[in-house]
Amino acid sequence: MGQIIMHIDVNSAFLSWTAAYEKQIGMDRDIRTVPSVIGGNEENRHGIVLAKSTPAKKFKIQTGMSLMEARQLCPNLLVVPPDYKIYVRASKKLREYLMKFTPDVQIFSIDECFMRFTDLKREEAVELAYEIKDGVKEMFGYTVNIGVSENKLLAKQAGDLEKPDKCHTIFPDEIKEKLWVLPVEDLFMVGRRTKPKLNRWGIYTIGELAASDYNFISTMLKSHGRMIYNYAWGRDDSVFKEKAPIKSVGNSSTLKFNVDNRETAHVILLSLTEMTALRLREANMNCRVVSVSIKDKDFGYGAKQRKLMYFTDCTRDIYQNICSLFDELWDGRPIRQLGVSVSDLEISHIRQINIFQDELSIKNEILDKAVDKIRIKYGDEAIIRGVFANSDLRPILGGYPDDEYPGMGSIL
DNA sequence: TCTGGGGTCCTAGGACCC
DNA sequence: TCTGGGGTCCTAGGACCC
């Protein structure tokens, strides 16, 4: 008996979780029953649709669309601001629930998980999927989709077949009838760039991709082509891993106003670096590559990175490199968004003092750890750098997608 | 249609070494 | 020097995901 994989996907996650939360605290409305979206703050230039209700979907409102555009499609649209604390909490609770069925739960994103079973027959798996789906609804008050198959790719494709509140299967013998009939852009990893290319070659359905010439796809699209060709056949040999190691950490922010001077940019970069370095230390990692990114007012994008001579988790070291990279990269155009990111990570251990590292940098590492402790205990802004004291700029900038963040967990 | 934020993986091309 | 070829490291940038 082979393995059974299930893919669990929360329907309109941010919106469902917000609705369930509102119900829990006794609010009268249910935002799922009216045209509504979860959307960012337009004044701060974060105005895009993060999730939509089923009634909103009927107006052709799509995730990622600007709120202005969404309102044009539906003038009475209800826009509800996001609350990430609720989502992180809800996501964690869901995972805990799923773990009751199998310890083999792999987190794919805040609202998606895979589960693996090795002792189930096909019919039993389908029954169990319904049980899990209905259990989530009863226990938490929102709906999920569950896809069932023999590998992750097919389970995920099955989960996408029909929403919301559904269980579906795509077992290998069902590929022809359930997968091949779908438009090629419905295949995982076929996005907005690949779709037009495939269409140009006369490939419009997943079945047509499966029937296409492997060598041609391979030559034209390289390894990406080989991957999607195999996906079209339902082949996915990825290993089921509980947790993949982190490869990079970063934070970026679209600014309330365009920034046109170096000093302000540096201060914002400091606040981003504070968050990135904090998360790096929280993960118990050091980095060796540091990179900065700039999006200008016309959405032109540029990035610059540098490999350091040593691994570090020190805010000061990272920040100094970020600033010099920024100075080399920036051409003076007004800046819309700034980003800081670190990669080439290794797990921190008791490190030898590197000849490239100065004494001040060692002292700073000790300082960083002390500051982290204060922030974790008393909040992000309990201790801030002097440059922010009389400034409108936020001392720490960027979100934390990670639910391991210790400052959270008091809501819901 | 004034368009977020967090990631991963892959490829190309130049520098450098033997 | 009218210079071959393989391998590695590094950076830039593209494509995709949720």
pLDDT tier at A373, thresholds 50, 70, 90: confident
Q: Which nucleotide is nearest to A197 (CA to C1')?
A: C15
Q: Is there contact between A194 and strand C, defined as CB under 7 Å from any strand atom?
A: yes
Distance A194 CA to B10 C1' (A): 14
Tokens of A57: 């979907």
Q: Which nucleotides of B are covered by protein (CB under 7 A)?
A: 1-12
- As a rounded value in angstroms, the CA-to-C1' distance for A244 and C10 is 25
Nearest Cα to A331, choosing from A361, A300, A362?
A: A300
Nucleotides of C under 7 A from a protein CB: 9-18
pLDDT value of position A79: 97
pLDDT band (50, 70, 90) for residue A388: confident
pLDDT, greater one: A390 or A386? A386
Tell me: pLDDT of A401 over 50.
Answer: no
A68 touches strand B (CB under 7 A): yes
**What are the φ and ψ backbone dihedral angles of A384, each rounded to 5 degrees?**
-135, 160
List of A residues 282-321 with CB within 7 A of strand B = 299
Clarify whether A328 is annotated catalytic: no
* Mean of pLDDT values over A100-119: 95
Q: Which residue in the list A42, A69, A96, A112 is annotated as catalytic?
A: A112
**Confidence class for position A409, pLDDT limits 50, 70, 90:** very low
- Residue range A183-213, pLDDT digits in tens: 999 999 999 999 999 999 999 999 999 999 9
> For residue A346, what are the contacts with CB-CB under 8 A and spacing of at least 6?
A285, A286, A288, A311
Q: Which nucleotide is nearest to A344 (CA to C1')?
A: C10
Report if CB A404 to strand B is under 7 Å: no
Q: Is the confidence at residue A255, as pLDDT, over 90?
A: yes
Query: Strand B closer than 7 Å to the CB of A50?
Result: yes
Query: Is A247's CB less than 7 Å from nucleic acid strand B?
Result: yes
* B11: residue with closest CA to C1': A222
A301 closest-nt by C1' vs CA = C13
A259: pLDDT strictly greater than 80: yes
Mean predicted lDDT score pLDDT of chain A: 91
pLDDT tens digits for range A303-320: 999 999 999 999 999 999
Q: Taking each helix axis as running N to C, give the angle between helix A84-98 and helix A13-24, from 0 to 180 degrees, rounded to the nearest 10.
A: 90
Q: Over 80: is that where the pLDDT of A365 sits?
A: no
Report the DSSP pairing between strands A144-149 and A167-169: parallel
Q: For residue A403, what pLDDT is reported? A: 37
Does A192 contact strand C, using a CB cutoff of 7 Å? yes
pTM surpassing 0.85?
Answer: yes
Confidence check: pLDDT of A383 > 90: no
Average pLDDT, integer, range A144-168? 97
A173 CA → C5 C1’, Å: 49
Nearest partner of A4 among A206, A146, A164, judged by Cα: A146
pLDDT of res. A243:
81
Give the β-pairing of A144-149 and A36-39: unpaired
The predicted model gives A82-103 an average pLDDT of 95
Residue A393's pLDDT is 74
Looking across all nucleic acid strands, the nucleotide with the smallest C1' to CA distance from residue A254 is B4
Residue A42 approaches strand B within 7 Å at CB: yes
